[in-house]
Amino acid sequence: MTVLVEDPLIASMAIGQPLPIHESSRRLRELYPECPRVYGVAVMGDLSRRRWWPLAEIVTTDRLNTMFDAALVETESSVAVTQQLAATFAHVVVGRVTALLALEGRAWDTGLENLWVHVDSEGSIDWVGVADPTVRALPDDPVFASRGRRCRSTGDGIVALPSEAALTTWVAHRSHRALGPIFDKLAAVSAGAVAVSAMWHIVGGTVVSVATQIPLLSGASEVVSMRRGQAVLDALVGFGLPVRGTSRANCGKVLLN
């Protein structure tokens, strides 16, 4: 029997202006009601910022060093710690948005400057937020149909991109720009325990895994989900990133709530 979890952080959100991202995040939370933070995101304007910090601080402060050292005490394997952190960041940046892309043909901005992360009492990332709640969507999104027009401004919290190819390429580009510096920093902090190319293999596995899981959890089209996931990977390959191929990384669980 599915157990619906009343998450205190989600329950405490104060939504002043409902936007498309709020409905999308609610549907994503419902995919995995036992752990509702796994796929959805929060809007930073809706909540207290206790235990939240901008993801960009990973590359500008010593936060990553602290996370790495703390995890190393537990596992004593720099390779395992590096793989786990790479998997965590892959899910934070591109895994979550792939879920929304597969389910609704929408995407929030995964740029490094737009993402925030929430950490638990042990300093582990357990939720993700966005500073700018605007989502990009396909031209046939129900919001546009209900309003009888194609929204081009951000005032309504949603902007149409011309095609699925444009949307998936935008997601890949923004995710690439976010994960690139994070992986470079992780390689430096771990003293090269895992090659950056192997971290990008983890990204590829993350996208495929999410695109496979969403139809199972939601009943959405497997064909559409995999097509959109593969389009993101195609765009990443076009940027010269080795996301395809076999990775021997044992990623384990990405996020725990």
In the chain the domains, ranked by start, together with CATH numbers, are 8-238 (1.10.510)
Encode pLDDT of 190-246 as tens digits: 999 999 999 999 999 999 999 999 999 999 999 999 999 999 999 999 999 999 975
pLDDT of residue 7: 86
Please, what is the end-to-end C-alpha distance for the chain in angstroms? 19
pTM for the predicted model, two decimal places: 0.90
Q: What is the DSSP string of 96-150?
A: HHHHHHHHHSEEE---TTTEEEEE-TTS-EEEEEESS--EEE-TT-HHHHHHTS-
Angle formed at CA 208 by CA 244 and CA 122, multiple of 5 degrees: 105
The pLDDT confidence band at residue 8, using thresholds 50, 70 and 90, is: confident
When the pLDDT of each residue in the chain is averaged and rounded to a whole number, the result is 91
Encode pLDDT of 148-177 as tens digits: 555 555 568 999 999 999 999 999 999 999
Angle formed at CA 256 by CA 255 and CA 257, multiple of 5 degrees: 120
Give the residue among 88, 94, 87 at the shortest CA–CA distance from 111: 94
List helix spans (H) across the chain. 8-11, 20-31, 57-60, 63-75, 78-90, 96-104, 142-147, 164-189, 196-218, 222-238
Helix (H) or strand (E) holding 254: none
**Contact yes or no for 56/112 (Cβ under 8 A):** yes
